[in-house]
Structure 1
Amino acid sequence: MASKDPAPITVASKVTFAELCGLLEKIQKTQGNDKKKRVLKDFVDKWRDFHTKVHKDDSADTEDSLFPAMRLLLPHLEKERIAYGIKEHTFAKLLIEVLCLGKDSPDANRLLHFKAPKNVKGDVGDFASVAYFVLKPRCPDRGSLSIEEVNNDLDAIAAGNASKAGKDVVRRHLMRLVTSLSAIEQKWLIRMVMKELKMGLSQASVLSVYHPDAEELYNVNNNLEKVCRLLRDPNTRGHEIGISVFSPFTPMLGERASPDKIEALMENKTYFIETKYDGERVLLHKKLDEYKYFSRSGNEYTQTFGSNVFEGTLTPFIANFFKPEVKECILDGEMLGYHAATNTFGTKGEQFDIKSRDVLDRTGYQPCVQVFDILLLNDKVLTNTPLKDRLPLLEDVFTPIDGRIIRSAFKPAHTNQDCADALNEAIDNKEEGIMVKLADSVYKPNTRKGGWFKIKPEYIGGLMDELDLLIVGGYFGVGHRSGLISHFLCAVALSDDEGDGEERKPTVFYSFCKVGSGYSKKQLQDFNTQLAAHWQAYDKKKPPAHLELASGFKEKPDAWLPPDKSCILQIKASEIIESDRFKTGCTLRFPRVELIRDDKPWYQCMTTRELQDLREKSGGKLAGSRFELGESEEPAKKKRRAPPRAVRPTLMNQFQGADVSKVTQVSHALQGREFCIINGPPTCPKQELEKRIVELGGEIVQNPDVTTLCVIADKVNIRVNNLIKKAKYDIVKADWLMRVVEAGCWIKWSPSDMIHITSATQQEFDKGFDEYGDSYTVETSEDQLHTVFDNMSNIPVISHDEIAELEEEYFPDDSPFGLFRTCRVYMDSNICVGDPNSAIPNCTLDLLKQELSFFGAKISPTLDADVSHVLVHSGDRSRVETMKALRRKQHRKFHIVTEDWVRVKSSIRDLHPQTLPAVVSPGRKQQAKLAWSKIYCSPFVNQI
């Protein structure tokens, strides 16, 4: 047997990990960025000299480079090992096991509670430093592993973490690292695994030491290994770095700006204004019939959106709309969530992930790419072409289709006022902001200094609503914030629904957000000194009675404050978004501290009712006013006087009761019934619903009492939750009231109409409905049937294979009810019959899909390797040749058939012997069985 070729010798296999850690120690202790870079340069030069000696004549051909060391110097850039799945607690438990430490020993406590100041030596909150002091007396002075061996172990840990059965692999390789390295080496290893090195050199500085063009090349392709390999020779200067199809890179970015500075920033030149959508940045690469999608950070999402016309949530719907002459292209844009029913785009505040394959089924949002730039067209790279010349080219690339792929609308502008008007229009439309781009700008990957500017309301002082929140908890910082409470858990006071006109001090607070920016280190130190005497360690077994956290303690603080010893922070943010991490059910997006409200007592913080009012005011957006030129300067951060206690905040107009004095009653459908409307759907808000109730003879109140029939709500908010806790009122969905208004008559409630049911109403429901909400007496509609089925989701479902086994047992001669049980069918129904530019779906195949499913077939959403049949429409065989080409490449061949094959198979069900009447003679049954077998065993009639 021939022996395997020996593994190639690399520099990393000859250089010890201890030498790399010695370099990191020296860099960390050296003062000054330039001196640190000189220390690193000496190491890089020695590596290159050693590389020449190791590889000699084959130096130019080898793949070996500084990459094995560079991936450890810049661990956060290594995309090949996305996650190790190891946190500080895992490392702590492993070290306790390897070192045979008692569970209650001082050193074990130091490792497990490394953030507690009284338990640790070194930097508070830095697990690596704490571990070093524990390991130092127990480890050898120098480890025995090379850089290559450490990398191999880390790769194995990452691979084991990604597999279901990799727990033992992870533990084995971690054990090898822990037992083979010195204490100082393990300190740096921990930081590499945590991807936070803390050596005092930035990414840009490290790359610039290696090669002057290294950072630029990395910005283009996001591939650290490729950077190290191509720039191995320091004398080889990078030529014009091109952008190529299917190679990810970091896109061009926008710099913050204000409308009153635009003319100066643009040097009085023409610029373009575009709407800034709240989506996910995406780079769409196309080469012939293949597509790839990359995020801003270089992550690939092709598997979700689709690599070809047969698969994915987007590609099948846009591929036919690219112009035939476009062979290759790279488009820059934003991936948005489009809701076809409402013709609207979603926002990140709604917390749906457009990169999820089932996002449409779960949320109703489908992916839609909004294209605003083109970087490559066929064989020409366009990055050095001015923007004003690139944008017209988009018209020659694809035909827009609503809800799938659209072009960004841009308009030329010249003055500050043009920019201010566009920003105000965005505020009025509840949009995120605007983008402003110099018409002559060229495309520069991964830079904010190229003539693009983003303008949002939160960037401009005075335009955003600000929130006064109480500090209730804190988190210890790391790095330069070690030893300080660097992040604060803020809360709102629970509203007192029973309050009379007199101000009461709140006793319960709901966690709302975590904030850790907006102040300098000096301000943070002063603030910590001010509160130092009042912090208390948080014990989840004995939590403070005044503080309510989300279920599961998802944001459990390290320490907490008594309310009367705390103070209020004035917080600024972009919007209020849904979140299950906090008790309020929502939190702030991009929060930052604006001011410490020393002028305001702790009990005058924001309440849950005020939060809900603010949240509903404009869909969570916190832009409170319009922009006027000359008023964009940040307001002076001076103390504001608290409002007099006699002044009570009033409810905003849109949440007050409707003026029904001029409403004319047109019906008695709701006569004698009283309702309380909390909120309504976007199409019919609260005040509109109240007018509809009065028109039908009903009465409305703003607060429910014993005479109120029910509470109406479209969505559950804090007020609805409070009413649910009281359990005094039936809470009915606004959809039920909409149906009553449409019908003009009373409609009885059903369980599916209810948000909350009182015990009395539940007893009535028990008389007329089963446990799944199905009525005993009323005919069921299609929508009600769907609701009943949803309620039956916990009932075990018989699998496809179990059904097949039953058919085999009871219908051994082929079941007439499982004609297609063994078939996995892909429906070629994403095309359009007739005119290829038409948007009408192939409804005929959609109907056949139901028939195939009824008779046992599995319908595959993609043309994968398990598909047995591809069903095309006989009137459009335009993609048959493409599918045949794909079939030739597959190991398992699939059949391409038309709809006639389904109809023939279905029509012979009546010939099955088991479906014949009992009076038919045995001879006739035998003839039928032969006919059945002949037809059934010829399954590829009408095959293409």
Structure 2
Amino acid sequence: MTETETGGLELPFPKNHAPLPSFKYIIGFLEQICEVSGVGSNFKRRQLITEFINQWRKDIGNDIYPAFQLFLPKIDDTLKQLQVKESTLSKQVVSSLHINPQSADAVLIMETTGVFNRSRFGNNNKSEDLGSKCETALANRKTNVEYSNWTLDKVFHMILTYSGSGKEKKQQVVDEIVNELSPKEVKWIIRILLRNLRIDCSEKTFLQCFHPNALDVYKVVSSLKLICSQLWDPEILLQQKDTLIRLYSCFKPMRAKFIPGVYDDLNKVVAKMDRHTSGDTPNGSFYIEEKVDGERIQLHYGDYGKKCQFFSRRGNDFSSLYGTSTESKGTITPYLKQYLSPTVESCILDGEMVAVDIETGEICSVSNVRQTAKIKGKKLQNVFLVFDCLYKNGNELSEYCLHDRKKVMESIFKKEPASHKSLKTAHIMILPYTTGHDQTHIKDALTKGINEMSEGLVIKNIFSKYILDGRNDAWIKVKPEFVNGYIGENFDLLLVGAYKGKGGNRTQYASYLCALKLQNTFLPLCRVGSGISSAMHQYIDDKISSEVFSSESVPDFLKTEGFKYKSNLRPDVYITPEDSIVLEIKATQILETDGEYSLRFPRFVKVREDKDCNNSLTLSDFLEYKKYLDSKFGDRSKNDKNDDNKKRKSSYIVGGSKLRQPEKKTMEKKSSLFDGIKFFITSDIDDPKYISAEDLTAIIVEHGGIETRNIDPTVIVIGDKKSPNVVSYMFKSGDDCRVIHPSWIFDCINTNEVLGFEPQHFFIGKKDYSLVDRYGFPLFRKITNEKVAEILSDMEPDEFRHSELQMTLEYLFPMNETQTKSTLFAHMRVFVFNYDDIALQLLRYGSALITECKESATHLLYKNLPPSETHGCIPISSQQIRSLWIRV
């Protein structure tokens, strides 16, 4: 191994003086660790780990890497590549046992437990993971519970065989494990395969017990094998140069810190910057960067581009995707020569790899980053956004302040042409940043970020050093959804499922599945756990605990088509809608992917005690918001289409001050029509044509009206659909609810007077009929010809015969006076049979037609009138006529 490959360490490789022990030896230690609990448990675990390491050195030798591989599979160079699915492994175990999939043991093994495997250190409830379930099932069936004679070499061989084989070979490996190992051994080998030992010990604990410098070295090399092989002697301490960042050695990057409560007062961010300020900048200068939606990547560039490596934050090598040299294939390295200065022999750049739509210049979801590198002939391309430099031409820079590192970073790049500054055409570029001094600069950047739909901001102190694998107050992330004035729209969603907690919270539900109402079913929308206090968790649990139930299949009341309902959304327990509660959730974006919808950053607000499953948010109302936002930001994208530096995600900001308080453009006041009248606009309108809430507000303001977000009896609520705002208002107001159709606004403007509310103006509420006649004609204002036609079309045909209009015609045009041609038959009410063409002429000259022969008829016009129609009509009818008489 060369110096470059070892990260500069030059200690001799260790050798063991005895063969590797049996698997039983490792299991004995792991069982001891699991038994530790209570006060001082962390100290006891460290003590056990130290004793194990010392005993290994004494009995086996100085090469402890084989044991550490099993203890720390998540960070081992080999085992961290394992991609074993718990659901697949559970089915293979059931198949190996040759039992009915519907049997109790099979159901126990295959029961969904993925939610627990996401725990970083596991939890103390061992009955919940797949390994423990398999141990229980095997203990009920196997007579042999003695340990096997498998060595560690055999264990590694079986694990690697399973990892690199096809379906049939995998099943054979599981068969051998189940048939030859004891139940306890099966439990641990399954946990190793799933890379989660559930022993409440992190890699930091093991490394600190192994060697005083092990953790520091791990931060700069990320190689468990290298650490174990080079730091085998705890008496030999490393010099500072041995813990510096090195080329081609993946390091643990510095991360931005989240500080609770900082978002309500941005002065707290500025105060944190002051703590890290040198005497040269008493005002606490800081850099402001956009937090982009990408994957953290470090680029190691050496020998003028002949060798390049890309590492993720977790140490995964993605060079095969982005390129291994400037001469190789990849989405980044073939273009590096165009961007980097020819004087750069080597460098390490820290940044974010993003996927960009080359047609719009928009940064797409992080889920597209690696897919973009794998798919050819696409409209997406990778762009590496660089924000830090840790190494240049043999000089390690982590001890330099950020201000100096930025200067070095900029010197690495050529003077960028315009094409290199555009996300549409660039492949690597410096992430733009600005300098701030107070909270005003942060607020301005946040406002700009809101308009461009960015992730948020990262505030960095200019004089901060680069802390490997660390977070401190020098880098603080600020996201818009947590800042006052940027809170998203609220949604009242029904709780339909719950997820169990982890570790010490195992007895409490940690998060909840919320859904939209669709007739008698519900559509899963989001999982929410953020923003819920322990007391509120307990309150919700008390509300639902007696009503929850488990189910292998999705209950009938959940409709999953068209919505994200993958394994990460499947809850541990369900609750029927009738027994559940409604949660008020706020979110910052509506996300849409291939027709599936979800909420971005959902946060709990409160329990809606006044609502139940019958009045939670419906799918149609939810989509009304999406439609509004689609229109709103679609217009904005058209205005900004020529701005190549605009970076907006393909999603929709929900609510926020921009939506809830539409920006009132500077405009001339056209009239004082609505002076002193306050309006609450619930949503966009679609009738008589689509008008956004913002534009409708502008129309009202132009005529002197006042837009408000607080409803009281003096406020006129405007809406033409049951949006969430309307639904909320309905249930708060009860019988006093009154929502006015937006047509009232335009009727007032057309007549230039504030009208009373006619029945047609009520979208919701008790209608007042005192302002119209019995047919709907307004009594105190003019209406258009189109409105007259609309009212007439709604009238029953015979209704006209008895109307005031007919009597008016008879009054104006008596039969004994000279008549105009158009009113020739105005005094007649004719029953016509088999003479449709004649009927049209009668109507043309003022006659009224009736649909059946009855007392109201004054004349009959018929051809071949059947006896059933003539019965009773002849004595009543005053005249019977023929068509010839009409034509004459």
Q: Do structure 1's residue 384 and structure 2's residue 386 form an aligned pair?
A: no
One-letter amino acid matched to 1:530: K
| CA deviations over 1:428-465 (Å, ceiling 9, x no partner) | 33222222111111111221116111111123355221
Q: Do structure 1's residue 606 and structure 2's residue 617 form an aligned pair?
A: yes
Selected match of 2:132 from 122, 129, 141: 129
One-letter amino acid matched to 1:651: D
Aligned partners of 1:125 and 1:483 also within 8 Å: no
SS of the equivalent of 1:229 reads helix
Residue of structure 2 equivalent to 1:691: none
Residue of structure 1 equivalent to 2:652: 620
Q: CA deviation at 1:626?
A: 7.9
Q: Do structure 1's residue 18 and structure 2's residue 24 form an aligned pair?
A: yes
Residue of structure 1 equivalent to 2:215: 215
Structure 1 residues 439 and 84, CA gap change in structure 2 (3 angstroms)? closer
Q: Distance in 1 between matches of 2:69 and 2:691?
A: 56
Q: Distance in 1 between matches of 2:682 and 2:103?
A: 56
Aligned partners of 2:564 and 2:596 also within 8 Å: no
Aligned partners of 1:477 and 1:484 also within 8 Å: yes
Q: Distance in 2 between matches of 1:462 and 1:600?
A: 27
Q: CA deviation at 1:286?
A: 0.8
Unpaired stretches in structure 2, ≥5 consecutive residues: 1-13, 115-123, 275-282, 634-650, 660-678, 700-888
Structure 1 residues 546 and 578, CA gap change in structure 2 (3 angstroms)? closer
Q: CA deviation at 1:272?
A: 1.4
Aligned partners of 1:472 and 1:547 also within 8 Å: no
SS of the equivalent of 1:188 reads helix
Q: Do structure 1's residue 327 and structure 2's residue 332 form an aligned pair?
A: no
SS of the equivalent of 1:75 reads coil
Structure 1 residues 467 and 10, CA gap change in structure 2 (3 angstroms)? farther
Aligned partners of 1:305 and 1:315 also within 8 Å: yes
Q: Distance in 2 between matches of 1:174 and 1:283?
A: 38
Residue of structure 2 equivalent to 1:493: 517
Q: Do structure 1's residue 266 and structure 2's residue 282 form an aligned pair?
A: no
Q: Do structure 1's residue 156 and structure 2's residue 161 form an aligned pair?
A: yes
Aligned partners of 2:49 and 2:209 also within 8 Å: no
Q: Do structure 1's residue 353 and structure 2's residue 351 form an aligned pair?
A: no
Q: Do structure 1's residue 70 and structure 2's residue 64 form an aligned pair?
A: no
Alignment of 1:426-437 (within 5 A): 426-437=449-460
SS of the equivalent of 1:177 reads helix
Q: Distance in 2 between matches of 1:654 and 1:52?
A: 81
Q: CA deviation at 1:547?
A: 3.5
Q: Distance in 1 between matches of 2:88 and 2:355?
A: 38
Residue of structure 2 equivalent to 1:110: 108
Alignment of 1:388-427 (within 5 A): 388-399=403-414, 400=416, 401-402=420-421, 403-427=426-450
Structure 1 residues 436 and 626, CA gap change in structure 2 (3 angstroms)? farther
One-letter amino acid matched to 1:262: V
Structure 1 residues 133 and 124, CA gap change in structure 2 (3 angstroms)? closer
Q: CA deviation at 1:322?
A: 1.6
Residue of structure 1 equivalent to 2:727: none
Q: Distance in 2 between matches of 1:354 and 1:507?
A: 40
Q: Distance in 2 between matches of 1:578 and 1:425?
A: 23
Q: CA deviation at 1:319?
A: 2.0
Q: Distance in 2 between matches of 1:657 and 1:398?
A: 44
Q: CA deviation at 1:292?
A: 1.8
Alignment of 1:528-539 (within 5 A): 528-538=541-551
Q: Distance in 1 between matches of 2:285 and 2:573?
A: 54
Q: Do structure 1's residue 510 and structure 2's residue 527 form an aligned pair?
A: no
Aligned partners of 1:124 and 1:483 also within 8 Å: no
Q: Distance in 1 between matches of 2:477 and 2:563?
A: 38
Paired residues, number? 602
Aligned partners of 2:590 and 2:599 also within 8 Å: yes
Aligned partners of 2:450 and 2:480 also within 8 Å: yes
Aligned partners of 1:220 and 1:248 also within 8 Å: yes
One-letter amino acid matched to 1:331: L
Residue of structure 1 equivalent to 2:859: none
Q: Distance in 1 between matches of 2:18 and 2:84?
A: 25
Shifted more, 226-235 versus 99-108: the winner is 99-108
Residue of structure 1 equivalent to 2:604: 593
Selected match of 2:479 from 430, 449, 456: 456
Alignment of 1:220-235 (within 5 A): 220-235=220-235
Residue of structure 2 equivalent to 1:195: 195
Residue of structure 2 equivalent to 1:256: 258
SS of the equivalent of 1:254 reads coil
Q: CA deviation at 1:81?
A: 2.9
| CA deviations over 1:294-350 (Å, ceiling 9, x no partner) | 2222222222222223421222223233211110001111222333433x231327x
SS of the equivalent of 2:591 reads strand
SS of the equivalent of 2:652 reads coil
Structure 1 residues 45 and 658, CA gap change in structure 2 (3 angstroms)? closer
Q: Distance in 1 between matches of 2:326 and 2:136?
A: 58
One-letter amino acid matched to 2:161: A
Alignment of 1:793-942 (within 5 A): none
Residue of structure 1 equivalent to 2:300: 285
One-letter amino acid matched to 1:339: D
Aligned partners of 1:270 and 1:438 also within 8 Å: yes
Structure 1 residues 479 and 550, CA gap change in structure 2 (3 angstroms)? farther
Structure 1 residues 337 and 109, CA gap change in structure 2 (3 angstroms)? closer
Q: Distance in 1 between matches of 2:438 and 2:86?
A: 54
Q: CA deviation at 1:260?
A: 2.0
Q: Distance in 1 between matches of 2:18 and 2:541?
A: 46
Aligned partners of 1:262 and 1:419 also within 8 Å: no
| CA deviations over 1:717-746 (Å, ceiling 9, x no partner) | xxxxxxxxxxxxxxxxxxxxxxxxxxxxxx
Residue of structure 2 equivalent to 1:245: 247
Q: CA deviation at 1:42?
A: 4.1
Aligned partners of 1:474 and 1:488 also within 8 Å: yes
Q: CA deviation at 1:223?
A: 1.3
Q: Distance in 2 between matches of 1:12 and 1:484?
A: 48
Q: CA deviation at 1:265?
A: 0.5
| CA deviations over 1:826-882 (Å, ceiling 9, x no partner) | xxxxxxxxxxxxxxxxxxxxxxxxxxxxxxxxxxxxxxxxxxxxxxxxxxxxxxxxx
One-letter amino acid matched to 2:615: Q
One-letter amino acid matched to 1:527: I
Q: Distance in 2 between matches of 1:135 and 1:299?
A: 36
Structure 1 residues 235 and 596, CA gap change in structure 2 (3 angstroms)? farther
TM-score, with structure 1 as normaliser: 0.58
TM-score, with structure 2 as normaliser: 0.62
One-letter amino acid matched to 1:173: V
| CA deviations over 1:33-65 (Å, ceiling 9, x no partner) | 75444445445444445435655xxx6xxxxx2
SS of the equivalent of 1:436 reads strand
One-letter amino acid matched to 1:577: L
Q: CA deviation at 1:520?
A: 5.2
Q: CA deviation at 1:397?
A: 0.9
Residue of structure 1 equivalent to 2:712: none
Residue of structure 2 equivalent to 1:468: 492
Aligned partners of 2:373 and 2:382 also within 8 Å: no
One-letter amino acid matched to 1:234: P
Residue of structure 1 equivalent to 2:174: 174
Q: CA deviation at 1:379?
A: 1.0
Q: Distance in 2 between matches of 1:279 and 1:50?
A: 43
Selected match of 1:560 from 564, 569, 574: 574
Q: Do structure 1's residue 142 and structure 2's residue 147 form an aligned pair?
A: yes
Selected match of 2:322 from 275, 297, 305: 305
One-letter amino acid matched to 2:320: Q
Selected match of 1:29 from 23, 28, 35: 35
| CA deviations over 1:245-299 (Å, ceiling 9, x no partner) | 2221221111125322122201252211122222222211111222222222222
Aligned partners of 1:443 and 1:450 also within 8 Å: no
Q: CA deviation at 1:518?
A: 3.9
Q: Distance in 2 between matches of 1:11 and 1:613?
A: 73
Q: Distance in 2 between matches of 1:329 and 1:223?
A: 21
